[in-house]
Amino acid sequence: MQSDYYIEVECLQKNPGKQVICGDVFMSEKIKEEGRTLLVLSDGLGSGVKANVLGTLTASMVLNYMRVNKDIRKAAEVIMQTLPICSKRKASYSTFTIVDIECDGETRIIRYDNPECLILRGLDLFQPKCEELSIEGANNLGKTLYSYRFKAEKEDRIVFCSDGVTNSGMGSKRFPFGWGIENLNEFVRGMIRRQPYLSAKQLGRAVVDRAAANYGDVPKDDTSCAVVYLREPRDLLLCTGPPYSKSKDAQLARQVSEFQGKKIACGGTTAGILSREFGEELKIDLTITDPELPPVSYLKGVDLLTEGILTLGKVQRLLKDYNQNTVLRQGPADQIVKLLLESDRIEIINGTKINVAHQDPNLPVELEIRRTVVKNIAALLEEKFLKEVDLSYI
């Protein structure tokens, strides 16, 4: 079942002081066969490496359990009963927020000791019924899980964070008790009021930047803000390589021409086929924007036209190494990555005609068979960036 919205997910983070590792851990996964999106934000006890290890342990346990069991409450209880207790602080080693979204919008949220979630329906704060669940076990007496269940709709946003956000500025004249959930709510709604289609990444970035500003731009705690935005999907088509049979050239050109969304073509032979079938002139830009790669070309009806295997190989590397601090430049591969990350549903058409040049064992290792590179790109887009990818061959 394909919903009429796309679930955009981003988590932005800042570390305290000179810490190089964040003690908050965010993990996400889309279970394609079930149409489920699983998200976990875990705040490990303390800061730095120790907190990161504890947060990673918690988040990993949650995802592993929920892959095989849809009962979000049971998952949270199992985690609480499994996590050890700090002998000094008499507290669990990690707090967490779990979000489970089904393809039909059915959404369940469980949180333990993390700040409240903000659920926004447009500009309005939506407050579903909250169920308080007491946890069994001698080590968990008096501890409570908070559970929410509701049907998400297009243009809904879910904002959840670690206490580094709500406690930011604590002890200052302006926020002696911390920024707080009410100020966070007003800030988020103000951002959306000014920019109704603000992306999840932009909103998350704005929140952590504001939280850091509350501390004088030097956070005193791990600061994380995750945002889920259900919105109109953005579609992109990437085609690379000529069809196995020349008789399929017209079919490839028709698929590209009729596609509603952004279009990328990679490879000189592919560009030649589209130019011939479209009846349009192919223009080559001689400006070098990346010394590793040939320049881009231009063809009416295609948003971006690049060289093939070398460029795709770099796209794969850029996606693999990408993080929230990555700066993309103007090279052909960087431009492809920008378009891929700005899109939600990505259709990839991979031509299956073998290019003999890519089989030469004397060529560099980077010249892998196109099919392998494209598969790796598709896997990264699905698993790391939670994109919806449809890979087909022609």
Q: 231, 266, 288: which is the final residue of a domain?
A: 231
Contact call for residues 157 and 192 (beta carbons, < 8 A): yes
Q: Is residue 261 part of a domain?
A: yes
User: Distance between CA atoms of 271 and 172, rounded to whole angstroms?
Assistant: 60
Q: What is the DSSP letter of 85?
A: B
In a shared domain, residues 274 and 366: yes
Structure tokens at 272: 């030649």
Structure tokens at 369: 């068979």
In a shared domain, residues 161 and 289: no
- Residue 97: what pLDDT? 94
Q: Which domain holds residue 174?
A: 6-231
Q: Is residue 140 part of a domain?
A: yes
Q: 175, 208, 231: which is the final residue of a domain?
A: 231
- Residue 4: what pLDDT? 78
Q: Is residue 355 part of a domain?
A: yes
User: Distance between CA atoms of 394 and 377, rounded to whole angstroms?
Assistant: 18
Max Cα-Cα span within the chain: 75
In a shared domain, residues 149 and 14: yes
Q: Could you give the C-alpha distances from 132 to 147, 338, 351, 394, in angstroms and in order?
A: 6, 43, 54, 54
In a shared domain, residues 163 and 110: yes
- Residue 354: what pLDDT? 67
In a shared domain, residues 275 and 153: no
In a shared domain, residues 244 and 188: no
- Residue 367: what pLDDT? 40
**Who contacts 106 (Cβ-Cβ below 8 Å, separation ≥6)?**
149, 151, 152
Identify the burial level of 254 via C-beta atoms within 10 angstroms of its C-beta, where 0-12 means exposed, 13-18 middle and 19 or more buried. exposed
Average pLDDT over the chain, rounded to whole?
88
- Residue 1: what pLDDT? 47
Q: Could you give the C-alpha distances from 363 to 302, 306, 352, 358, 377, in angstroms and in order?
A: 30, 21, 20, 8, 21
Q: Would you give per-residue pLDDT tens digits along the chain (394 residues)?
A: 456 789 999 999 998 877 888 889 999 998 888 889 999 999 887 777 888 888 888 899 888 888 877 777 777 777 777 766 655 555 557 889 999 999 899 999 999 889 999 999 999 999 999 998 877 665 666 678 899 999 999 999 999 999 999 999 998 889 999 999 999 999 999 999 999 999 999 999 999 999 999 988 888 889 999 999 999 999 999 999 899 888 899 999 999 999 999 999 999 999 999 999 999 999 988 888 999 999 999 999 999 999 999 999 999 999 999 988 899 999 999 999 999 999 999 999 998 876 655 555 554 444 457 788 999 999 999 999 999 999 999 8
Structure tokens at 63: 């995802």
Q: Is residue 208 part of a domain?
A: yes
In a shared domain, residues 217 and 255: no
250-299 pLDDT per residue, tens: 999 999 999 999 999 999 999 999 999 999 999 988 888 999 999 999 99
In a shared domain, residues 185 and 249: no
In a shared domain, residues 103 and 182: yes
Q: 169, 204, 231: which is the final residue of a domain?
A: 231
Q: Is residue 1 part of a domain?
A: no
In a shared domain, residues 135 and 213: yes
Q: Based on the structure, what is the number of domains in the chain? A: 2
In a shared domain, residues 215 and 244: no
- CATH number of the domain to which 115 belongs: 3.60.40.10
User: What order of strands is seen across the sheet that includes strand 283-284?
Assistant: 283-284, 297-299, 302-306, 262-266, 235-240, 345-350, 388-393
In a shared domain, residues 49 and 165: yes
